[in-house]
Amino acid sequence: MLANIKDRFPVFKKKPNLVFFDTAASALKVDSMINSITNCYSYDYANIHRGIYELSSKLTKKFEDSRISVSNFINSPSPENIIFTKSATEGINLVSNCLSKNYFEDDDEVLVSKLEHHANLVPWHLVSKKIKIVAANINNKGELDYKDLIEKINSKTKLIAITHMSNITGSITNFEEIKNKANKFNIPILIDGCQLVPHKKLDIKEMNPDFYVFSAHKLYGPSGLGILYMSDFWINKLSPYQGGGSMIKNVETDKSTYLEGYQKFEAGTPPIAEVIGLSSSIDFINEVGIESIYSYEKELTKYAYEKIKSNNDIKIYGDFKNQTSIISFNIDNVHFNDLAMFLDKKNIAIRTGHHCAQPFMKHFNISGNARMSVGIYNTKDDVDYFVNSLNELKNFLK
């Protein structure tokens, strides 16, 4: 299946020589997902949950079947724990706003880390008049300092919000170490799973987080769609943070009552075609096999890591142990943006800059770096071409 995987991605028909190493930002789009969205808009479209006519009722069923598909994919207790948002970022903002209204008290602490994407920092800043933000350190390899994080958990800690997999180093967080201490204080945990979910099997029942977010566009799926898993306890406890159609039970001019469960968090017309498109992306991943994807990408990342690490002029941020899919680095005396422009001329796409992780960059006293990130459409030939191109640039600059 993986041998002919590029045939499933239409971009390679137009750009057969493209080496795409920016999957951590957003994955390329698989044909079945594109077709399902096209068919939805072309032949099936109507608003959902409201119309009793055939077009609406059939699309409503497809939409809710997609919720089941997402639930099965991450092994959540029920599809009713799945909340659709416009992005994973919105999912975290939803949680931060709801907790601020319904849970946090003055001087409560939210524990994050210096490894986080800005999407798991800024939403807490927006409610920081009520809470104190405490950040766990990272070590000199760019990994989470578990000892420091655990020492910072105390009776004032009311939430731990941590990435499952770093978008800078690809390191995977060991939540077993964290949960043992968190459980002693009955502290809820929010996990940013945007980077991990496309690459590794996720079992929500086994992990048992309070909140878990990820995004569709990194799953070879559509943009404009995020997924928030919320446990039953919090679904029942929290009140909505935005209102409108779909989430109401009854509305007067001066007051409203809301639906129960996940529905109270899905105000307005949802991203209908995108949700249906995500289901097709998940079907594609299930067809290939998430275990096969993880094994293939881990081997490919290790192959690239060893080739890059052998060059003394390149500094890699992160250590290949519990890591996959991502390698970030800098080349001595080469600005990362100059590197990206050079590689672009050779049809190689990488990401450069601070990657929405400025605390990480400040830890290493750099303004940014270059990041290559692999997907299932990448090959060892891609890696060889990439490494040879790096060597070509260095020789040119000598």
Degrees, nearest 5: CA angle 248-76-171: 115
How far, CA to CA in Å, does 15 sit from each of 191, 355, 385? 36, 26, 16
Q: What is the 3-state secondary structure (H, E, C) of 264-275?
A: HHCCCCCCHHHH
Q: How far apart are the first and last CA of the chain?
A: 43
Which residues lie across from 256 on neighbouring strands? 251
Q: Rounded to an integer, what distance in angstroms lies between the CA atom of residue 77 and that of residue 397?
A: 56
Contact 105, 235 (CB under 8 A): no
Q: Could you give the count of Cα atoms lying within 13 Å of 376 in the half-sphere of its Cβ?
A: 28
- Long-range own/partner contacts, residues 49-55 (CB < 8 A, 24 or more apart): 49/246, 50/246
**Helix, strand, or coil (residue 385):** helix
User: For residue 9, what are the contacts with CB-CB under 8 A and spacing of at least 6?
Assistant: 28, 29, 30, 31, 377
Give φ, ψ of 270 to 5 degrees: -80, 170
98 flagged as catalytic: no
E strands, the chain, are 19-20, 82-85, 108-113, 131-136, 157-163, 189-192, 211-215, 226-230, 248-251, 256-258, 314-317, 326-331, 348-349, 351-353, 369-373
Amino acid at 241: Y
* Cβ atoms 215, 84 nearer than 8 A: no
- The residues assigned a catalytic role are 356
